[in-house]
Every structure is written in C-alpha cells, then in structure tokens.
Structure 1
C-alpha cells in the first residue's frame, strides 16, 4: 500500500467508527458504502436540483444507500445504468429502462433483483450519461474530494465511460451521504480519483467548483493486477500511460 492508500484507510476507519457510534448507519458498516440514516431525505434533496430534473440518463452505484436515488430515477422515467457488482461480467452495467420493467421499481432497483430482470450492457451499447450518482465513505467539505470504500470500482466505472465518450467534463457527479461523512479537512487524493460536483446530505446540498482535472479515462499505471485479472472488460486491452 502507498502512503495515500494508508491515509485513505485511516479516514475510512474514522468515519465508519463515527457512523456506528452515532447510530447513523447499521453496525457492520466497516468495509462498505454506509447505508446511512436519512438516505431517503438525501435522495429527495437531490431530486429538487435542476441537474437531476434535466437528466434523462443516470448512472448510479448498486449500494443500498443509493437505493432511493435509483427508485426515484425509475419513477420519473429516467433511463438508469447500474454497475454490475465488481464489474464482474463482460458487459459490466445493468440497463434498467422504466418503460419495459415488469416488476415494481422498488424491486427492480435492488442489487439482488436487477441481475434477474435487467440486461447487461457494455459501453458500446450505452447512451451518454447526464448525471452520475455515487456512494462515498467520506467527502471533503472544502473541495469535494471523495474517499470510497477502497475497492476502486467507482473510479473504474467512470473511467470506462469516459474512455467511451459517454462521460465528459460536463457530466455532473453527485453523491448522497450522511452529514457525519462530511469532513472539514483535506482528504488524500490519487491521480485516478474523481471528485464530486455535488454532495447531498439529508439536511444540505454542497456544490463544488472543479478544483482538479478529472482523470482522462483509465490510467494504466493505477490498475492493480487483481483488477486486470478479475474484470473482463479490461481483458485483452493494453492500457498505456503517456
């Protein structure tokens, strides 16, 4: 692990401990995107924003904390892409189209049911994304720097879509989190990490001006051997770093 990795892990442990201590997330949150108290209120605040109202295509993570976001998207007729957990299939996104779903949206949007009812698609089959919603462990209140749970999948998902031209610098990235996950400090940040444009809690919305350039796509030197071995969409491609 690099010094940045160690620093991130320290932040994660601190936030996970705090969430459990304050009862803001269920016990056992360590190692996960926190399923925080008030997630429905955060989703409702997100839905009040123009960036949400104008979006027709949304990409969202599959974690339980963002389930209310996914359900709202479907109820409002938005096309929803949800990552296959661990990007474990050759086509690493589920396509949830509310116009053709035959089960309740509350069911379709779960990570357990989506694999049974939604087709998988790859970047070649996808439409440009208007809004990305991600889960987070911690967000810097100062500049929108994000710390995830440590697996690196969210960064890779956005990088893949950027490589395909489906995500650009104009695509907003939002996260829904608990107030406890907002830290008034600088957070560790690596070259392959993205920052968020919006952080929405149950009680407030924070908007950020980009303080760093987004990664231009997949950064080859940042890929781990286990990622290259286990993520099919990365197979057979040489990722070169300029």
Structure 2
C-alpha cells in the first residue's frame, strides 16, 4: 500500500490508518485466522513466507537472544528461533502478571515440541517468568504491526503494549540503540510515508520490514524511546498493569521522578480511548428483563392516580382510565405490565388478524395502544402468571445387548420414550459405525483441515469422517470398509501438506468401540 490519495484515510489519525488497513485486509480476503482482524495485530496470508525470510538476514542468524511478540502472525518466527536453538523471550499478553517469559523446551525436544512452544499454549507450558532484575541482553526484537512506513514509523493496534515493553526493557538495560527491531507485515500494510506529526518520542520504530515478497532496510534509523515516560501514564494505566507499579516504586526509592499524568474528569487516556467497545451481553440483558417482569419491581410500575372528582371505580394508569376492581393486592402497575407482555407475545398474530383478547362489554371503550379496560373476571385471567417452563436434563441412554451397535441396524431400533433419547441412540450408533481409523501425525499447528482434505482428495482417499486435532498436531481419519486399510495406508505414504512441511506419519489407530452390556441378564 503506497501513499497515493486513494489509499490514504480522510482523517489523519493513527486510528484512521488502522481502520483503513483492517478494512482493506478483510475486503480483499488477505487475512487469516483469527478473524475479523479489527483491533488486532492482523494475521495475514503469507505470514509464514515472510517469517522464513528471517533466514536471509545476518542479524537474525548471528543473534542469541530474540524477543518475539505473542501474536499469531509471528508464530512462525518464534518457531524458527526455537529450532535454531536461540533464547526466545515472549511478552506476557497484556502484561497481566509480568513482563517477559523465556520459552524453555525440555531436553531433547522434537520438532513437535518446538511447534507447541511457539504457540500460545507453549507460553503457558514452557514459559519461565523473567524478573525486572534479570541480567539479559536482547540482540533482536521481532514485533507485529498494523501499518508501517518505509521511513521506519510504526502503528500498532492502539493499546501501547509494544511501546511499554520496549521502554521497560530499556530500564532493564536489556536493549539499547544498537538493538535491531524487525517487523513482519503484508505488503498492503507498508506505506511510503506516514504523517510525522502522529508519532511521539515513546513510539517504537522499526529498522527492517519483512513482507512475503521483499525485505526493506530503513535508512537512516529513527531514534528509540529513552525509557518509560511516566508523565504520559495515568493512575488507571498503572492499576491495569501491576508490574508498572512495582517498577515505579523501585525507581521512586532510588530518588527518580515518576510523576504521573494528571487526568481530569473530561480527559481520556489515549490508549483507553482507542480500545474496542465492550460487546453487550444479550443473554444477560434478556435474563435481567425476565427477572424484573417476574418480580414485579416497583420501579417498573406505572404511576397510579385515583379519580376523585366523580367518585367512580376507575383509576388512571399512564393517563388512561381503567377499572379499579382488581383481585387481591395486585396493583394497576402490575396489570399494565402483564397486559404489555401479553400483547408482545401475540404481536405477530395481532398484526395479521387484528386485536385479540376478551370482547369488551357494551358501552365500554377499549384502547389497545394503552391499558385495556376489562372486568374483574377478565382481569383475573390476564394477571395470572405464565407457568415456568421446566428444564429437562439429559439422561444417560442404556442400550440392552439386543440393541448394541454391532447387532442392531439403525432402522430396526424401537422408538424410545422421547425424541431426545432416540437422537442420542442414533449418535451412539454413528460413533460406532466406523470399522477402522487412521492416525495422522506431524501436522503443523498452523495447518488447516481444508489443507488435509485437499491432500487426501489428490490421492483418492475419502474418509467418512475426520476428527481434527490440529492444535495438538494430529488428526483421525475414520473409514467403514475394513478391507481397504492397507491400500489407504500405502497410498498415503510420503504425503506432505506443504512443500516445505514435514512428511506426515500415517498409522492404524487402535479401535475404540464402546461395548454395552445389559446388566439385567447377569
């Protein structure tokens, strides 16, 4: 993406450039999982190819300690660093309980262990926290970006974590002006230039830009952040990141000035204002509305005014006259609410067939737009609460020996008591209908099931079902004809999902048939 006017946003702000890039990636189908890419460091198609270009950079080959961000598009970069035996440091997501973790694989780790260690799961399994007092020297920093310029300016997702991470490492003396910063992005994320007025002294620049098609060396290099600029941080920011509070206390004990930014009631934190809005929980709102209706809260009752002028048995509810004769201690506000709920439940039928409800007595006016006028008996019928629907729990299905999956055809099974039981029996039969299964190992964590299906189709193998466990590095192929397993295994020898990928290991899986016994016959 260049600096031509057709690509530039109308508003010159960082957020405008973010939205422009996110929308472009989604509209042109250049984004990969997870989607949508909005409010993320976007995972773009071709991130693996861009990461493999790291092998062409001398700085990466000569580095010993590499810091890589935990986002999905840099997963291949973490994998390459682990396979090369480098010390890999990964920031803790959102700095919730620390700054960095070092990925420490077990002794004699295989390629599969390296793939797991490069994933988010590996950060939890193999990550060892690094304290602020650790003596480390980072040779290379690899980060993700939303937009970059060939001049070295970088725009992140807008929350400022990459800037804080680099500034904290400056305070640890882990990075300096000689530390190289590399970013991997799609070609459409690269601009010829970005407005210089958008960038401040705390923004982290980049030295090398890698795309799936090119490597861009930035010359001259832009200055690095000098460290944490406390005057740009607020109290709310410190409450969200506890490690910042620890670091601030240490510096204050050393006599350094750590005065925070004063935020007035009308001011917003720069990073907080750029966060995506919280999605409303529709189910929770619906449950709260139902609880309020069932309890009959006094807040939702309509104001009631007695008509004392004529002494009649009518009262005013929301400005409308209605009957005052109500059974028990039911108030007019409850009656109005119950009538409103009845009208909502029959809104579709009412719109098609006209008003539905009790026929008014002669001489009594009705107003469907407001509260209905009805007699005492009709009010009793309307005010009755609707019975609550009882929740049914799933019961385990016990199959007698005569109806075991091996002996009974699905069409010959007698109808159970309920349709739910019948559905569960059919599922049990389908699960046990496969005669043999094949286990496929050495699947990369970034591989999708559609790639496996395409590779199987090229070799004429069409399983009846596939159990996909790509995050764990394997998949199960299920077949019906037991006489074909030798031919299928032979046809899947030396199969690869990608040219640079590993050869898949295909072997016969152990049967996991469920045996059901009728205990009444014992």
Instruction: Provide the TM-score with structure 2 as the length reference.
Output: 0.43
Measured after TM superposition, the shift of residue 189 of structure 1 is 1.0
Which of residues 138, 142, 146 in structure 1 aligns to 2:147? Answer: 138
1:201 matches 2:211:
yes
Separation in 1 of the partners of 2:54 and 2:105? 19
Separation in 2 of the partners of 1:101 and 1:229? 41
Q: Residue in 1 aligned with 2:236? A: 226
Separation in 2 of the partners of 1:169 and 1:39? 27
Q: Residue in 2 aligned with 1:9? A: 15
Which of residues 58, 67, 75 in structure 2 aligns to 1:50? Answer: 58
Which of residues 100, 103, 128 in structure 2 aligns to 1:96? Answer: 103
Report the secondary structure of 2:121's partner residue: coil
1:86 matches 2:94:
yes
**Contact preservation (8 Å) 1:192, 1:222:** no
Report the secondary structure of 1:157's partner residue: helix
**Contact preservation (8 Å) 1:94, 1:115:** no
Greater shift in the superposed pair: 232-241 or 108-117: 232-241
Separation in 2 of the partners of 1:178 and 1:63? 15
Separation in 1 of the partners of 2:69 and 2:237? 18
**Contact preservation (8 Å) 1:77, 1:98:** no
Measured after TM superposition, the shift of residue 240 of structure 1 is 2.9
1:39 matches 2:47:
yes
Larger of the two Rg values belongs to structure: 2
Separation in 2 of the partners of 1:6 and 1:88? 32
Which of residues 258, 265, 273 in structure 2 aligns to 1:240? Answer: 258
Measured after TM superposition, the shift of residue 224 of structure 1 is 3.6
Question: For 1:100-147, what per-residue CA distance to the aligned partner results, in whole angstroms no more than 9, with x for missing partners?
Answer: 485611111112331133211123225200000000000012x11000
**Contact preservation (8 Å) 1:160, 1:218:** yes
Change (3 A) 1:99 1:129: farther
1:186 matches 2:204:
no
Report the secondary structure of 1:199's partner residue: strand
Change (3 A) 1:229 1:77: same
Specify every segment of 5 or more residues in structure 1 that has no aligned partner in the other structure, as ranges: none
Measured after TM superposition, the shift of residue 81 of structure 1 is 0.3
Report the secondary structure of 1:37's partner residue: coil
Measured after TM superposition, the shift of residue 97 of structure 1 is 3.1
**Contact preservation (8 Å) 2:230, 2:258:** yes
Measured after TM superposition, the shift of residue 156 of structure 1 is 0.6
What is the RMSD of the two structures over their aligned residues, measured on CA atoms? 1.9
Separation in 2 of the partners of 1:126 and 1:96? 17
Greater shift in the superposed pair: 206-215 or 177-186: 206-215
**Contact preservation (8 Å) 1:39, 1:202:** yes
Separation in 1 of the partners of 2:78 and 2:132? 20
Q: Residue in 2 aligned with 1:129? A: 138
User: Which structure exhibits the higher relative contact order, with contacts defined as CA atoms closer than 8 Å and separated by 6 or more residues?
Assistant: 1
Where does 1:143-154 land on structure 2 (aligned, <5 Å)?
143-154=151-162
Separation in 2 of the partners of 1:126 and 1:49? 26
**Contact preservation (8 Å) 1:15, 1:137:** yes
Separation in 2 of the partners of 1:232 and 1:100? 33
Measured after TM superposition, the shift of residue 183 of structure 1 is 1.3
Which of residues 10, 25, 36 in structure 2 aligns to 1:19? Answer: 25
Instruction: Provide the TM-score with structure 1 as the length reference.
Output: 0.91
1:213 matches 2:220:
no
